[in-house]
Amino acid sequence: MATENPTNTSRAEELKVLANEAFKAHKYSQAIDLYTQAIEANEDNAVYWANRAFAHTKLEERGAAYLAMGKFKDALKDFQQVKKLCPNDPDASKKLKECEKAVMKLKFEEAISVPESEKRSVADSIDYRTIDVEPQYSGARIEGDVVTLDFVKKMMDDFKNQKCLHKRYAYQIVLQIRDLLRELPSLVDINVPDGKHFTVCGDVHGQVLPWIPACTVGSDIFFVVHGGLFSVDGVKLSDIKAIDRFCEPPEEGSSLARSVNCYAVFYISFSSQFSSRIIGLMCELLWSDPQPQLGRGPSKRGVGLSFGADVTKRFLQDNNLDLVVRSHEVKDEGYEIEHDGKLITVFSAPNYCDQMGNKGAFIRFEAPEMKPNIVTFSAVPHPDVKPMAYANNFLRMFS
């Protein structure tokens, strides 16, 4: 038993305060060390033991989040600390080995990688016009360089019948879209003429690595984004427009997020290696989620943050907007209205991954009123293909 005296007790409390501050700042390893020092000063205080155990849990959760995101070097640091504290934890040992293997692979790839100045996208070497279409091919065809509505309808029918699109036309579509998207700014302003409408879908899950804009503003009324808002007030639309989304992946070897933008009927995926300010904005746009309580809180995902109705209200006021529309979370009814009606989550993938049983939804804004009209729908049978089976391989060659 530690000797109980006022000096030890006072020192232990000082260490606990420092540990609590480190915990709030998500510095879990530092918090664990400080709680340990507090325990050494006064081991009879159960609060120190409980707080250290909770910090350990959060450290392991963060490590798992880093691992899931492909941020293997960060995950490795966390699991090394977990292993040090709990050497007999089999789950931590398993994840540590996974991280060690992934980091070794990254180091090998770095050792044989081509210098940045010499890198070239495979897409730059593809000329779809030189690809012959076999006479026996009976699927949808693009005549010339224009993708027509008739072609799209034919292609959809073919897909429903489990027929493949010829690679010439698949390359053509992706390359032409790539050229179109690279001309767009990181924030797109859409003005909807009277009598027309604007449709927002979210999380239908496709991937076009960093070409898609970060967000959209519709008729100076609503802000459309995949994840959510920011860790600081005062972010203006001009700050988002200044984001240069065309850059190389971070050193962890994966994109910052392979998420899908709640942006018209497009998708989003970013990779970033910017200043901390730009990285923060992009990360939060992609990963943040709303919370029912006011203020800001830690993210359940280990990245981004949770934000309350007051944060939403201030952002809208600062940018003279009325509504935030975002996705990023499965909703049983396909949508959810929160933050005093100032934020709508829309999720357009019904029965997500063939497991969730949720409805899908989309939102239609009709000019000039531009009020959100939410349409929900249920899943229908689809071909026997695993969800997201083709999400990575085909488009990876265009990065």
How many angstroms separate the CA atoms of 393 and 387, rounded?
14
Q: Is the peptide bond before 368 cis (omega within 30 degrees of 0)?
A: yes
Q: Where are the domains of the chain?
A: 6-112, 116-183, 186-396
pTM for the complete prediction? 0.62
Whether 247 and 274 have beta carbons less than 8 Å apart is answered as yes
pLDDT of amino acid 114? 62
Q: In the chain, which stretches have pLDDT less than 70?
A: 1-5, 60-61, 64-70, 85-86, 92, 108-120, 204-208, 210, 246-279, 386-399
Residue-level pLDDT at 7? 76
User: Is the alpha carbon torsion for 220, 270, 300, 297 positive or negative?
Assistant: negative
Q: In the CATH hierarchy, which top-level class contains the domain 186-396?
A: alpha beta
pLDDT value of position 254:
33
Q: State the pLDDT at residue 94.
A: 74
User: Which DSSP symbol is given to 270?
Assistant: B
Q: Residue 323: its pLDDT value, please? A: 97
pLDDT tens, residue by residue, 319-361: 999 999 999 999 999 999 999 999 999 999 898 877 788 999 9
Report the relative pairing of strands 360-366 and 343-346 from DSSP bridges. unpaired
DSSP string, 43-76: TT-HHHHHHHHHHHHHHHHHHHHHHHHT-HHHHH
Q: Does the structural domain 6-112 have CATH classification 1.10.3470?
A: no
Instruction: Tell me the per-residue pLDDT of 196-249, one tens digit each, with 9 for 90 and over.
Output: 999 999 886 555 576 778 888 988 999 999 999 999 999 999 998 888 776 543
78 and 59 Cβ atoms separated by less than 8 Å: yes
- Is the separation of the CB atoms in 374 and 190 below 8 Å? no
The radius of gyration of the chain from alpha carbons, rounded to an integer in Å, stands at 25
pLDDT value at residue 387: 61
**What was the pLDDT predicted at 47?**
86
One-character DSSP codes across 369-386? T--EEEEEE------S--
